[in-house]
Amino acid sequence: MKKTYLFILLFSLIVVTIKAAEVGTSAVYSVAEITFAGPSQTQDNPNLDFWVTFTHESGSPSYKIWGFYDGNGTGGNSGSVFKVRFCPSKTGKWILQDVYSTATLLNNQKEGDYVTATASSHHGFWAVETSTGGGRWYKRNDGTHQFVIGNTHYDFLWKRDAAGITSDVNGNANYYKKLRCMIDGSEGYNGAPPAGTYPNVGFYNSKADVAIKAALIKDLIMDLILYKRLYLDNGEAYVKYIAARYGSYPNVWFCLANEWDIKDPLTSTQAIAMGQQLRKYIPYGNPLSIHPNSGTGWNTALNTTPAWNDHKIAQLKTKDLSDAAANTILNYNRTPIGMPSINDENGYEGAGDVYTKEDVIEGVLGSFSGGGFGSTAYKPAKGTGQYYNGNFNATEHSASAYLKWLADAINANIEFWKLQPVVNSSSIFPAASTEFKVLQQTGTQFAIFTDAAANITANLPAGTWTLKQINAIDKTITTTNNLSGNYSFSAPNSRACINYFYLANASSSPVITAPLASTTFSPGQSVTATATGLNLSWAISIVGGSTFASGTGQSITFQIPTNAANNAQLKIQLTGGTSSNEVVSQLNTILDDSPVIQPITQTVVANTAFSIQLTATGTGTPMTWSSASLPVGTILTTDGLLQGTIATSGNKSLTVTVTDVDGDVNSQTLALQVIDASQPFCETGGMVTVECENYTSKNINGDVIGWEKETTASGYAGSGYMNTTINNYANGIWIEAADLSYDVTFNTTGNYYMWIYRYAPTSSSNSAYVGMNGTAVGATFDNGTGTGWGWVKHTTTFSVSSAGTKTINIRRREQGMGVDKFILTTNASYTPSGNAQVESAKCSSAVQVITNVTNGPKYVQATGLKANDTYYTDRTYTISTLPSALVGAEFIKAANDDKSLTTENLFSATFGTSARVYIAYGATATSVPNWMTNLGFTKIANQQITTSDITFDLYSANLTGTVVFGANKAAGSVGAGSTYFVIAVPEAGSTLKIKGNGTQDTEVQSTVGIYPNPTKNYVTVSAGSRINRIELISASGRVMDMKQIGADQANIQLSAYPNGIYVMVVSLENGQLLRKKLVVE
């Protein structure tokens, strides 16, 4: 028995020894890759979980690392290889303590094995520096700080081969600290395997892996922009895969999307979910944010507690130091406060954006002067050049060498991570121009950023100071030593200069350097005071009370009592000096104002998820929110985020309470306007007219006032006009101005001229901003000194380069300017007069026409037909032009692989209401299939759809119920090419049925009039409400013509049609569809 036990013990020891194998080695803050054998598959299985836990041999720390499917391990999409990438954070053995998977083959595999980590000089991961600078800057795991200037190669992973990618990474690393790119190549695979192939293991293996590994060697940040469409299609599985594959690289930052709120946008709810999911799978806390559209920054609708992001991105191309600084400060000050702000598009050098190297340098330095980082690229034209394709060339992108020099100068001379922006009047440069910007660490270092020659006086605190003038345009540093007192100096004639003062020798006398005497505090607030001098000791009290905090050294942190009274005086007393007998003190005011809840100024759309950050004024932050009553379908978080979905439109009320840090309470009943979802306005014939009170949405957008509907100034059209209140408010700036948004579906591309019918009470209230998709178009919309009502033409055209729905923006500049309607037209000679122009029609009805489409997924229902849409499920051909009457219609995408089939029963669909059904059939056909004729389809004269592949003729019929559609080349078809597809519009509300001979069999409603009737050359159609569409149908049932109207009256020319009996089918905006018999003589 003893021998048996000894054998078992020895066998166990042998087993343990064999199992605990070294499966990898890695330097600290490098990456070890461990390969696992898993189940064979052809693509990633999103339902397969696989993760491991690495624990250091000392017992701490531990990291949970998710594994990922890697095909055959060498780039093939099919295989059984799974991998884990691990980054050790200190030397020694890291044990695979736990290996878990829902797949039996992977579960417990290599458990107990280890990775050996060796010493390295790598700086490690990036994390927000929270101890200094207000959380504006990043530090590394080793405690060092590097200044970040970035470059952009959006699509270089797709455009370049492995050697080219490596060359681009190395080239960028020689000049920049960060490189932005799409992780999936472009917005999609664009030439790699089809979008349905996900994940594209071959692409990641041969492209993204190459870039990230090469960048790690060079300590270059790879800022990976995820692809929105892949998230919308694959959900959490997409971010889980990306995090598992790249989340262990210390040089990787993540950006959820490029311009997340436009171009196949995410909703704020989707963006939040994407961010929280990605954060969940990242083991090391890599930097994470999301990129907004042009001219904007962080959207507070994305806020969560805790925050899923650790920095905020802005996109503002500007050549001006002051503007770039203001944007960075603005973005930082949006909640959540206390994280870095990065302008990822300060300016792209080259002819594409018309930026010189000096423009780029000034913009990037401007972001720094606002307390943030900046980025650039080289752009010779849209969609070309380095910013898009890569192929880095520092000679061509000439700003690169200057930005490299600037970053090196900052790193070598400035402790930038301790700096914060301050207004000039509160700095040591109180008389300097406000166009110059100041960063400071009170008492220790001060920098004023200048973009022109100037004489400036610095009121230097006690001690001996040094001035370094860092001129980024000339790449020179001029040093002046032994400065003190009020020192006047000359800023150079340079567009980008840092005039940097730092304390060379501190005085032995005690000097309080922070907070400034002008700073106010609130009860419960944490305060850090700092000082210079020798033998320092602190005594903190409320005037009239006893000392509540004391300490020694150059700083002290304390909390203001929560019971401190309003306007109480905080006394900060400091003792020091060579003999410890010098005493200085200062008083700071404590404000205990009660919070005041602010009104909700944002509208929400019924049945659409929303998120609104409630706000309250007051100094007692942080504040806690609660609710007594909320609209059904909503919740309110403790940090004031109202979110949810409201089913019905109308004015909703909610009662909320906010409590500040020391217990002051305010309760209010707020109003929330919920509007029905609005269809876009339809552009027809190169023109669209919109009444401004019929906005798609409005948003105060961070402004001090919002747009409201008014009727006080007579002379408007429609039901009113939109205006902002006059109350001595400062002019708005584009990125932070109250917004009116109007969705317009464009079918006609080209340059559009904008006219606005506006009301100006004075010459100081007659300007606004206009834009498209959140980007300003041109400079201020201004009428000089004009007042009263009148039409004004914008000086810059709107470029509509592709058909589809765009958002037109009108934003406040000066207060008090009213806007009644606007017109966009491609006609450069058009000049409106009066105000009787009829508003354009909406594009589609909310009635669902098509249901129960069979033979999926080859045949699928789709909505909102427009130019640039795909119409096949198995091809990427897109629609180029289509009749405006069909814009916004429902349709059935088809399979072009079925183009040669001859069956009489290909698929079916149900038309839930009487519907006008159209078939787009190849224009090369000389005869259509018999099944089309049997269903009553007739060709519409002079109406076609053109595409990137072929041209389609249009055939129409009135159908209802379930309809069986035959194949493209069924009996009767002659000359057909590509597969047809089906379009449908509702015929709901009709009160008149048409017999086969075109005559009426019920009484025609009198809400539509046509005259003269009988007629010869034309007919006028009038209605009691706006007419969306008119169709002319022959006695045989053939659609002769169809027109989009958008008015309550229309003239129809008939001279081209033969004499006979016709029916005019009139579709009204209110949903009615009416028919009138018409006789043409």
Q: What is the CATH number of the domain that holds 821?
A: 2.60.120.260
Q: Which amino acid appears at position 467 of this protein?
A: L
Average pLDDT over residues 791-818: 90
Which residues form the domain of 981? 850-986
Which CATH number covers residue 519? 2.60.40
Compute CA distances 1003 → 597, 915, 1075, 1076, 1077, whole Å.
59, 20, 10, 10, 11
Q: Report residue 410's pLDDT band, with 50, 70 and 90 as the boundaries.
A: very high
- Confirm whether 996 is domain-assigned: no
> Residue 831 falls within a domain, yes or no?
no
Tell me, what's the pLDDT at 783?
64
Domain co-membership, 750 together with 878: no
- pTM beyond 0.75, yes or no: no
Q: What pLDDT does residue 912 have? A: 66
- Tell me, yes or no, whether 517 and 450 share the same domain: no
234 lies in some domain: yes
Burial class (CB in 10 A: 0-12, 13-18, 19+), 562: middle
We report the CATH number of the domain holding residue 478 as: 2.60.120
Report the distance separating Cα 802 and Cα 219, nearest Å. Answer: 40
Residue 900 backbone dihedrals phi, psi, to 5 degrees: -100, 5
What does the pLDDT average to over 553-575? 93
Work out the average pLDDT over 831-854: 77
To the nearest 10°, report the CA torsion of 93, 94, 97, 103: -130
Judge if 370 and 227 occupy the same domain: yes
Say what the pLDDT of residue 609 is.
73
Residue-wise pLDDT tens digits, 217-229:
999 999 999 998 8
Cα-trace Rg, the chain: 34
Q: Which residue has the tokens 């934003």?
A: 811
User: In 785-906, at which residue ranges do the beta strands (DSSP E only) sit?
Assistant: 788-793, 798-800, 804-812, 818-825, 850-851, 860-862, 879-881, 890-893
Q: What are phi and psi of 313, to 5 degrees?
A: -105, 140
Report how far residue 300's alpha carbon sits from residue 637's, in angstroms, rounded to the nearest whole number: 14
What pLDDT shows up at residue 1022? Answer: 75
Is residue 1002 in some structural domain? no
What's the CA gap between 694 and 1069, in Å, rounded?
14
Q: Do residues 142 and 62 both lie within one domain?
A: no
Asked whether the predicted pLDDT for residue 9 surpasses 60, the reply is no
pLDDT reported for residue 684 = 80
> Which tens digit of pLDDT belongs to each residue from 943-958?
899 999 999 999 988 8
Q: What is the pLDDT of residues 725-765, one digit of tens each?
A: 887 777 787 777 889 999 998 888 899 999 999 998 887 78
Confidence (pLDDT) at 1018: 74
By percentage, how much of the chain surpasses pLDDT 70?
91
Evaluate if residue 197 carries a pLDDT over 60: no
**For position 848, what pLDDT does the model report?**
64
Q: What does the alpha-carbon distance between residue 489 and residue 468 come to, in Å, rounded to a whole number?
A: 11
Ramachandran angles phi, psi of 231, nearest 5°: -70, -45
Query: What CATH number does the domain containing 319 carry?
Result: 3.20.20.80
- The answer to whether 783 and 762 have CB atoms below 8 angstroms apart is no
895 and 789 share one domain = no
Q: Are residues 423 and 383 in the same domain?
A: no
977 plus 1018 within the same structural domain: no
At which of 414, 438, 466 does a domain end?
A: 414
- Claim to verify: residue 441 and residue 584 sit in the same structural domain: no
Last residue of a domain, one of 790, 825, 860: 825
Same domain? 405 vs 436: no
Q: Is the residue at 568 inside a domain?
A: yes
Q: Which of 61, 91, 118 is the last residue of a domain?
A: 118
Q: ∠ CA 767-768-771 to the nearest 5 degrees?
A: 145
Q: What's the total number of domains in the chain? A: 8
In a domain, 1, yes or no: no
Pairing of strands 767-772, 775-776: antiparallel
542 and 618 co-located in one domain? no
CB 577 within 8 A of CB 512: no
Q: How much is the mean pLDDT over the chain?
A: 87
Residue whose entry in the numeric block shows the structure tokens 């040591």:
428
pLDDT of residue 1046: 64
Reported confidence tier of residue 1072, pLDDT bands at 50, 70, 90: low
Q: Which residue has the higher pLDDT, 485 or 5?
A: 485
470 found inside a domain: yes
Residues 467 and 526 in one domain: no
Confidence of residue 51 (pLDDT cuts 50, 70, 90): very high
Closest CA to 540 of 567, 568, 579, 581: 568
Helix (H, G, I), strand (E, B) or coil at 263: coil
Q: Are residues 137 and 267 in the same domain?
A: yes
pLDDT tens for 622-671 read 789 999 899 998 999 888 888 888 888 888 999 999 998 878 899 999 98
Would 171 be classed as within a structural domain?
yes
